[in-house]
Amino acid sequence: MQFVCRYGTPDGRVLTEVQQGTDVGAVRRELERQGCHIFEVKPRSPLMQLQLPFANRRKKMSMPAFLAFNQELAALLRAGLPLLQGLEMMLERMEDPGLKEVLTEIRDKVKSGEELSDAFASFGDMFPPLYASTLKAGERSGELEQVIRRFIRYLRLVIDARKRVVSAMVYPSVLILLSIAMLVVMAIYVVPMFAQFYGDLEAELPTITKVTLSVSSFLRDYYAITFGALLIGGIAFRIWSRSPSGRATADRWKLYIPLLGTIFLYFSLSEFCRSLSTLIAGGIPFVSAFETANTAIGNKHISGQIGPAIERVRQGTSFNEALEQTEVFPHMSIDMIKVGEATGSLDEMLSSVADYFDEHVETRVERLLALIEPVMLIIMGLLIGILLVSIYMPMFGALSQVRA
């Protein structure tokens, strides 16, 4: 969830910014941990969120661009350059105007004495939520370059997982779109030719033919209204799905989609485990790392399901028991996490759990691809067959009458 925060910084400035968090208390604790004086923290209203796409809202930085940025920053720090000088050198070679503007603001904040982690955190959703926390751990331990390199490894794994899922879904998506386009073209341009023919014939048409001709006539005569209604409906759904409650509901619906629901679930759990592993390995206190990793989950319904476990851990419940009570994680992953807690290697075990989920996602996507092509061919064959039968059935009836 997003919250509007008005607070005073340790250096005397008063800022009003948007922060990510599971609830108001979590956001307050994070700001107080940074030494800030809180004036007000309130949930960000859906109206404020809807205005941003039409205002001067910055887009999220793409992961490949962010990966390249961190690789260059880590290389400059490893070469022994001071942070500010490294940022200056990156600005000189920066070609992307949007990224250059953001980096200029970050450079100015660092020059004024602000920590790099706070500078990135001030941009809210533009950067991954766990990035600022990762930088904070590096600043406190004096190992900023090593922490950035650990984040680079995390980012590469996430990018690779997303690429595999997206590339696997390209073919079925194209197949579905082409099939729909073919049906629409037949309904608008082919069927009307037969409608005129049957009108001149003045024959009694079967019910299936009447339905087909009525649908075709509606699409042809009211295509502008149909297209406009679909467009408005799509925009309304997008606006609703961007609100906190709407997004959580839409994310919950995704989990019930046949064949795809488990893929969405395992991908989100992989995001959580890999994020938490990176934060723990970077030295972030466990509860803070837990909160940050939960906000990094793309599926907000799953994030909401895991959220109560944070308070249970804070009250003394073991991590594996708190996760088990959410009823989100498979038993195998809970057992692996329990072993990681017992052996003191939780960060490594969480990384293994993330790999376990990634393997399941890849396997299920491959199965889905193997299944979707024949299923789509069968469905489209049935639809086209029904369309052709409805068109030619009266003709066959007329021919039989002529022969009689």
pLDDT in tens, 80-114: 888 888 888 888 887 777 778 888 888 888 888 88
Spatial contact of 311 and 319, defined as CB atoms under 8 Å apart: no
Helix axes of 286-295 and 261-281: crossing angle, nearest 10 degrees: 150
Q: With 60 as the cut, is the pLDDT of residue 385 above it?
A: yes
pLDDT tens for 37-78 read: 888 888 875 544 444 443 344 567 778 888 888 898 889 888
Weakest-pLDDT range from 100-114, 158-172, 360-374: 158-172
Beta bridge partners of 17: 5
Q: Residue 263 and residue 369: Cα distance in Å, rounded?
A: 13
- Tokens representing 404 are 């009689």
DSSP state of 126: G
Quick one: CA dihedral 39, 45, 51, 52, positive or negative?
positive
Spatial contact of 278 and 134, defined as CB atoms under 8 Å apart: yes
Beta bridge partners of 15: 7
Spatial contact of 60 and 298, defined as CB atoms under 8 Å apart: no
Whole-number pLDDT of residue 281: 81
Cβ neighbour number for residue 241 with a 10 Å cutoff: 15
Weakest-pLDDT range from 145-154, 202-211, 358-367, 390-399: 390-399
Q: With 80 as the cut, is the pLDDT of residue 152 above it?
A: yes
- Tokens representing 150 are 């650990």
* Ordered DSSP codes for 361-392: HHHHHHHHHHHHHHHHHHHHHHHHHHHHHHHH
264 contact partners, CB below 8 Å, separation of at least 6: 254, 255, 257, 299
Q: Please give the backbone phi and psi of residue 86, each rounded to the nearest 5 degrees, phi first.
A: -65, -40
Q: Pick 201 or 281 by higher pLDDT.
A: 281
Distances in Å between the Cα of 208 and the Cα atoms of 180, 211, 393, 400 are 20, 5, 9, 19
Mean pLDDT of 302-313: 90
343 contact partners, CB below 8 Å, separation of at least 6: 349
Spatial contact of 272 and 374, defined as CB atoms under 8 Å apart: no
pLDDT tens for 311-355 read: 999 998 999 999 999 889 999 899 999 999 999 889 899 989 988
Structure pTM? 0.64
Of 132, 150, 116, 117, the C-alpha closest to 291 is 132
- CA 27 from centroid of its chain's CA atoms: 22
- Tokens representing 318 are 């073991």
Q: Residue 237 and residue 250: Cα distance in Å, rounded?
A: 10
Cβ neighbour number for residue 247 with a 10 Å cutoff: 17
Spatial contact of 77 and 270, defined as CB atoms under 8 Å apart: no
Spatial contact of 37 and 8, defined as CB atoms under 8 Å apart: yes
Spatial contact of 242 and 48, defined as CB atoms under 8 Å apart: no
- Tokens representing 335 are 């057992």
Whole-number pLDDT of residue 52: 41
Whole-number pLDDT of residue 201: 63
Q: With 80 as the cut, is the pLDDT of residue 399 above it?
A: no
- Tokens representing 322 are 């708190």
Cβ neighbour number for residue 63 with a 10 Å cutoff: 15
Whole-number pLDDT of residue 321: 92
Distance between first and last Cα of the chain: 73
pLDDT tens for 169-224 read: 777 778 778 878 887 787 777 777 777 777 666 667 778 888 888 888 887 788 78
Whole-number pLDDT of residue 129: 66
